[in-house]
């Protein structure tokens, strides 16, 4: 990053809906078991949003926490970026609904879609916009998802994997401080759009009765293919940002991987050679909340006091697109 001096995370927040759904609960819905889900994914339970809680409601709750942590009022926010693949509507963008919910009437707003890598993309975009313009002094970057609205609750191969939630950070600039984002490496492979997607509901396949009958409005994926590609993509992006900063994995306080599956997380940790206790895991409690997993994890680490100024944090993610990325932060 060339001109990101002084851009730092002034506050974090997260929100998980109250309703807890266990693996055993799901076994009453589809042909599955707690044992199968835990062994294959590490997930024990997930949170599901209420019918009257769209993604913007989860995102707004996380944003309010980040603002409170930073001691900033909603009116002071200049920009809101929401990374999501489960927007409230096709348009207007979800950040506008967040703006209305929190009362951030002075903020520019847009949403960004890069599936589970969305927060990393949004974070780099936010830092870049701040680096380009002094106008952006208080910037909310949010990853929020209501995955339960995209999941086919009759498909056991996908419905057990996902959950709802949101995480947020508030970025500010203080030239007395060093930059938080030290290096970023984002990638994508558009040849693999079909292995993880929601086939219908966009301009390529508008909703029709036939679409609904075939459940094409829901998420579909080739889990095995994703599994193979995910570990390689994340490890290589992580190695790139470490070498760009001349750091070794031993110097990293926390690896925060996208929380999709414990076996993928363990695979990445093992390949990078980092001790398990420095690999953050909460997939057991929340499942895969897509673009929200990384900011939720960051907030949990901050609130538990397990991070100190100067610590290095390595973020790695992958998702539909395929998209992937790694970022090295210094707290
Ligand atoms: N309960 C019981 N059995 C199941 C379930 C379930 N919930 N789901 C699938 N099975 C069955 C299958 O039908 C199959 O049965 P069969 O052998 O009789 O055909 C068997 O279990 C094995 O299925 P696989 O798909 O081969 O199981 P696998 O070991 O690959 O695990 C899993 C599946 C957990 C999905 C794994 O592949 C995975 O985690 N992949 C990565 C997926 C992922 O991370 N997706 C999110 C990407 S992020 C984003 O952008 C949204």
SS3 label, residue 201: coil
91-133 pLDDT tens trace = 999 999 999 999 999 999 999 999 999 999 999 999 999 999 9
Separation of CA 255 and ligand 1 centre (Å): 25
Look at residue 2 and tell me whether its pLDDT is greater than 70.
no
The set of residues, in sequence order, having a beta carbon less than 8 Å from that of 184 and lying 6+ positions away, is: 1, 120, 123, 124, 241, 325, 326, 327, 328
pLDDT digits (tens, 9 = 90+) for 273-296: 999 999 999 999 999 999 999 999
Cβ proximity of 188 and 324 under 8 Å? yes
191 is catalytic: no
Active-site residue identified among 4, 138, 258, 261: 258
φ and ψ at residue 299, rounded to 5 degrees: -65, -40
Contact, 185 vs 326, CB < 8 A?
A: yes
Q: Determine the average pLDDT of the residues in 16-22.
A: 98
- Closest ligand 1 atom to Cα of 319: 50
Predicted confidence (pLDDT) at residue 1 exceeds the cutoff of 80: no
Instruction: Give pLDDT, residue 3.
Output: 78
Average pLDDT over residues 60-73: 98
Nearest to 25 by CA among 149, 160, 147, 146: 160
Place of tokens 């293919």: 225
pLDDT digit string, tens, across residues 76-92: 999 999 999 999 999 99
pLDDT of residue 231: 95
Q: Distance (Å, rounded) from C-alpha 287 to C-alpha 23? A: 11
Q: Give distance in angstroms: CA of 218 to centre of ligand 1.
A: 16
Q: How far is CA 158 from CA 58, 124, 222, in A?
A: 22, 30, 10
User: What is the DSSP-derived secondary structure letter of residue 309?
Assistant: T
Query: How many whole angstroms separate alpha carbon 83 and alpha carbon 114?
Result: 7
Backbone angles phi and psi of 138, in degrees to 5: -130, 110
Alpha carbon 303 to its chain's center: 18
**Contact between residue 123 and residue 9 where contact means Cβ atoms under 8 Å apart:** no
Q: Give me the chain's average pLDDT, please.
A: 97
Q: Is 261 in the pocket of ligand 1 (CB under 6 A)?
A: yes
pLDDT (mean) for 34-44? 98
Q: Which atom of ligand 1 is nearest to the CA of 226?
A: 41
State what percent of residues in the chain have pLDDT above 70. Answer: 99
Please choose from 24, 29, 40 the residue to mutate so as to test ligand 1's pocket, defined by most ligand atoms within 8 A of CB.
Answer: 40
- Following DSSP, what letter does each residue of 152-175 receive, concatenated? -TT-HHHHTTB-EEEEEEEEEE-T
pLDDT at 235: 97
Q: Whose CA is nearest to atom 50 of ligand 1?
A: 319
- % of the chain exceeding 90 in pLDDT: 96
Q: Among 97-101, 177-181, 202-206, where is mean pLDDT lowest?
A: 177-181
- Contact call for residues 188 and 39 (beta carbons, < 8 A): no
The residue with greater pLDDT, 40 or 228, is 40
pLDDT(213) > 70:
yes
Ligand 1 proximity of 94 Cβ (cutoff 6 Å): no
């Amino acid at each position: 990053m060339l001109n990101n001096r002084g851009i730092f995370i002034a506050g974090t927040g997260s929100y998980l809906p109250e309703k807890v759904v266990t693996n055993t609960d799901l076994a009453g819905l589809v042909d599955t078991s707690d044992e199968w889900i835990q062994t294959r994914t590490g997930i024990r339970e997930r949170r599901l949003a209420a019918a009257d809680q769209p993604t913007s409601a989860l995102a707004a709750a996380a944003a309010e926490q980040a603002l409170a942590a930073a001691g900033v009022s909603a009116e002071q926010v200049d920009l809101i970026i929401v990374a999501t693949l489960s927007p409230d509507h096709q348009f207007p963008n979800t950040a506008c609904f967040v703006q209305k919910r929190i009362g951030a009437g002075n903020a520019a707003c847009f949403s960004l879609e890069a599936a589970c890598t969305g927060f990393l993309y949004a974070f780099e975009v936010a830092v870049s916009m701040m680096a380009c313009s002094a106008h952006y002094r208080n910037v909310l970057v949010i990853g929020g998802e209501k995955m339960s609205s995209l999941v086919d609750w009759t498909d056991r191969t996908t419905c057990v994997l996902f959950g709802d939630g949101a995480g947020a950070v508030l970025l500010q600039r203080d030239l007395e401080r060093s930059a938080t984002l030290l290096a970023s490496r984002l990638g994508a492979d558009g040849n693999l759009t079909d292995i993880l997607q929601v086939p219908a509901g966009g301009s390529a396949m508008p909703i029709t009765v036939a679409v609904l009958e075939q459940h094409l409005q829901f998420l579909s994926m080739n889990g095995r293919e994703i599994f193979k590609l995910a570990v390689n993509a994340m490890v290589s992006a992580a190695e790139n940002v470490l070498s760009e900063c001349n750091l070794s994995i031993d110097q990293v306080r926390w690896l925060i991987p996208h929380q999709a599956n414990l076996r993928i997380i363990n695979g990445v940790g093992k390949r990078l050679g980092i001790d398990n206790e420095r690999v953050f895991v909460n997939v057991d409690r929340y499942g895969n909340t897509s673009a929200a997993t990384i900011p939720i994890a960051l907030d949990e680490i901050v609130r538990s006091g397990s991070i100190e100024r100067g610590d290095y944090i390595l973020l790695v993610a992958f998702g539909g697109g395929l998209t992937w990325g790694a970022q090295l932060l210094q707290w």
